[in-house]
Amino acid sequence: MSKKISIQRKAQLTGHKAAIFSLALGKNKQSLLSGAGEGWVVEWDLENPELGKVIAQVEGNIFALHYIPQAQLVIAGTMNGGVHWVDLQAPEKTLNIAHHEKGVYSMLALGDFIFTGGGDGILTRWSIAERRSLESLQLCHQNLRSIAYCKQRNEMAVGASDHQIYLLDATTLEIKTQIEKAHGNSVFSLSYSPDGKTLLSGGRDAMLRVWDLEAENKMIQNLPAHRFTINHILWHPNGKYFFTASRDKTIKVWDAKNFEILKVLEGLRDQGHFNSVNRLHWQADHLISASDDRSLIIWKMQELFD
């Protein structure tokens, strides 16, 4: 029995006036947030996707985004290095903190904390309750492009523009090890496998690399996955597939067992994107993609077997 998949475009969401760089879960499983270059945070109802609503606006391109439902708090990181704490219940309590010297390119929510990675090479831990920075670590002096977390290893992986991957203890922020020269250029995306045994990395060099974390971070796959930068890597919840998004305007679906490409989603043939695909997100049993073409696409995926 051979494995096949079917992916069909379900809806295209439009309304942003600039490229979309960030996606986040909203107030419930049907609520999706997007952040874009015009500084808008838009809430979408996945059951009625044509009904987008601007719920916040900040100054600058939004590269990173997270939402705290219980506090109705939007946290947005922007190209100018600002970390914006937008209180939807009490706008007068909104904080705009100019923290990183350059852009906030990555963000990770973990327990009571938010971590931000900046263009200044600094990783910062923030208190969500106090809405302030607690500690910062200078990992390098170039952009921190991606942050990933592995529960099984209590570990954070940080990808940087110095071509390295830093593996940190998620509690103490101690650097456990570095994967040197992980890519030939900036490490744009990182994603741990659901079982915590491997780490996927994607770079500006368009390469997809697979690292065996149980064998001293040995590289076990080195794949020329796209024609241009791999902007994002996302695992399917069942762990059998993962997705890559690229500046080459495509989304690729991979078999996680043998690292073969199962499907390529592109503009004309699949009604996909016609510009760089910047971000991927899985929610309510759908794949959602965000692009420079100012739109989001909701994809429905099905498994087929011969």
pLDDT at 4: 82
pLDDT at 1: 44
| Rounded-to-integer distance, Cα 286 and Cα 276, Å | 20
pLDDT of 89 > 60? The answer is yes
pLDDT of 2 > 70? The answer is no
Q: In terms of pLDDT, which residue wins out, 2 or 293? A: 293
Q: Provide the whole-model pTM.
A: 0.96
What is the average per-residue pLDDT within 15-34?
Answer: 97
**306 closest CA partner among 4, 19, 8:** 4
Q: In terms of pLDDT, which residue wins out, 102 or 73? A: 73
Segment 245-288, tens digit of pLDDT = 999 999 999 999 999 999 999 999 999 999 999 999 999 999 99
Domains of the chain by start residue, with CATH: 3-305 (2.130.10.10)
What is the average per-residue pLDDT within 190-211?
Answer: 97
Asked if residues 105 and 119 have their Cβ atoms less than 8 Å apart, the reply is yes
| Rounded-to-integer distance, Cα 16 and Cα 287, Å | 19
Angle at 73 between CA 68 and CA 74, to 5 degrees: 90
| Rounded-to-integer distance, Cα 41 and Cα 57, Å | 6
| Rounded-to-integer distance, Cα 291 and Cα 202, Å | 17
Burial class (CB in 10 A: 0-12, 13-18, 19+), 225: buried
Burial class (CB in 10 A: 0-12, 13-18, 19+), 116: buried
Element (H, E) at 283: strand 277-283
3-state class of 269 per DSSP?
A: helix
| Rounded-to-integer distance, Cα 179 and Cα 159, Å | 10
Q: How confident is the model at residue 304 (pLDDT cuts 50, 70, 90)?
A: confident
Look up residue 247 and give its amino acid. R
Q: How confident is the model at residue 303 (pLDDT cuts 50, 70, 90)?
A: confident
pLDDT at 12: 97
The sign of the dihedral angle between the CA atoms of 143, 145, 151, 153 is negative
